[in-house]
Amino acid sequence: EIVLTQSPATLSLSPGERATLSCRASQSVGYYLHWYQQKRGQAPRLLIYDASNRATGLPARFSGSGSGTDFTLTISSLEPEDFAVYYCQQRSNWPLTFGGGTKVEIK
Amino acid sequence: EVQLVESGGGLVQPGGSLRLSCAASGFTFSSYAMTWVRQAPGMGLDWVSTITYSLGTYYADSVEGRFTISRDNSKNTLYLQMDSLRAEDTAVYYCVRGGGSSSFLSWGQGTLLTVSS
């Protein structure tokens, strides 16, 4: 099973600041790494697929990068609606797995 | 607009059974893999099972042999039959479009399963 480790667990930032979230895989997943956002009380939604492709309608302040075992989700300038929990997920191997999540909270 | 509407959650005793359903609309259901993902209270996301468009099935080790995923393309409906339920199966269960060869493209709002005596 591929283990995804997200860091940090919590990121405390102010609106307008840059957020950098990390996801590290226990073995290579190629580019098959996706990012999701979950707001309190809501279902997750897809943000980035295959490491760097923005989902339809996603603002350009969100970007993804990386390959192999190291991936990054960057939010260039945090908006109030971006404070949420973010999960990475791999589809390289069964079982499909998620990271433990990074909570982006208001400082 | 893609819609995924789960139903069938509720309170079940340990060892009991339940079937979840997910009514899909707004896309060609038969062309997509479909997945169940769960989230225990206050916890992260946990993949449960995927059924491909060609009816291949995949399960997490934690539910293998107890849960059965299926689909009825004529009704645009996804199912999850859950048997021998345990307290640790307590979670919100999300119906998800995609999985396997794609990301999880769209998510339902979830249905809560509580396993307790």
Q: Which amino acid is at B17?
A: S
For chain A, what is the mean pLDDT?
97
| Tokens, residue B63 | 């539910």
Q: Which amino acid is at B83?
A: D
CB-based contact, A79 to chain B, within 8 Å: no
Res A104: pLDDT:
98
pLDDT band at B14 (very low <50, low <70, confident <90, very high): very high
SS3 state at A98: strand
* pLDDT tens-digit series, residues B60-114: 999 999 999 999 999 999 999 999 999 999 999 999 999 988 899 999 999 999 9
In the block, residue with structure tokens 């999850």: B80
Q: Does the pLDDT at position B26 exceed 90?
A: yes
CB-based contact, A100 to chain B, within 8 Å: yes
Q: CA of B48 to nearest chain A CA: how many angstroms apart?
A: 9
Contact B14, B113 (CB under 8 A): no
Backbone phi and psi for residue B72, each to the nearest 5 degrees, phi listed first:
-125, 100
* A69: DSSP letter: T
A43, A46, A95 ranked by CB distance to B103: nearest = A46
Contact A104, A22 (CB under 8 A): no
For chain B, what is the mean pLDDT?
97
In the block, residue with structure tokens 């005596």: B117
Instruction: List all residues 6 or more positions away from B28 whose beta carbon is below 8 Å from its beta carbon.
Output: none
Q: Which amino acid is at A4?
A: L
Q: CA of B104 to nearest chain A CA: how many angstroms apart?
A: 7
* pLDDT tens-digit series, residues A22-67: 999 999 999 999 999 999 999 999 999 999 999 999 999 999 999 9
Res B101: pLDDT:
87
Tell me the chain A residues in contact with residue B47 when contact means C-beta distances shorter than 8 Å: 89, 95-98
Question: How many inter-chain contacts (A to B, CB under 8 Å) are there?
Answer: 54
